[in-house]
Copies of this chain bind each other. A is one copy, B any other.
Amino acid sequence: MAVDTGGKTGRRPGPTSSRDAILRAARTAFTKRGFKGATLRLIAADAGVDPALIRHFFGDKDGLFDAAMEIPPETVLALLDTFDAPRERWGAELTRRYLALWEDPLTAQPFLTMAASAFANTAALEKLRTFVGSTVLEAVRLRLRDEQAELRFALAMNHLIGIALARHLLKIEPLTALGFDELCALLAPAVQRYLTEPLP
């Protein structure tokens, strides 16, 4: 199964995509060099634009960082395409789709940054809570036609989130040692159970 993790296929041509090119270059630079090491000059060069264009779009480096580390809602909502698959594949689909986002440092970094902000300040936490509570769970209700849709999805997703943080943030040895397919095979049955089997 192919999962489009986005942002890996290089720069798109054409002037309308300058903003996207800057965001991709910024994500790479911030992930590889940290906030301090990633200069606007470097990011501009990598994106093939003039540094003035970065200022035009994002104001300053803080503005660019915020934009680069924003998780696109469509990335999260794409997880719900899981429910287009046959029901017996839901556990495997959701597991792969979600964990694949973490395997690429470029897509993982915004998740880590969001988690860190949510821990550090109440405003970011509130923003995340609203996004999950309204946008995501609302969409889940529509896609997963089940009285306990939100509970099922919350159990499945937060199981996966705990494992993703342990593997990619804490880097707990037995979890980092696993291959991606192996990890997915271990987790899919529990996710499947939460999504489809009768709950106690």
Contacts and interface: CB of A to CB of B under 8 A. Distances in A.
Contact of A158 (B125, B150, B154, B175): B175
Given A115-B119, A190-B190, A158 B163 contact: yes
A40 B118 CA distance: 28
Interface string A130-168: 001100010000000000101100110011111101100
A179 to B, nearest CB: 12
Contacts of A78: none
A78 B118 CA distance: 29
Contact of A166 (B116, B161, B175, B186): B161
A72 interface: no
Nearest to A151: B174
Given A150-B174, A174-B151, A165 B166 contact: no
Contacts of A189: 193, 200
Interface in A170-200: 170-175, 178, 182, 185-187, 189-190, 193-194, 199-200
Interface centre among A151, A155, A199, A200, by most B CB within 10 Å? Answer: A155
Contacts of A162: 158-163, 165
A90 B18 CA distance: 55
A163 B174 contact: no
Nearest to A187: B155
A189 B165 CA distance: 22
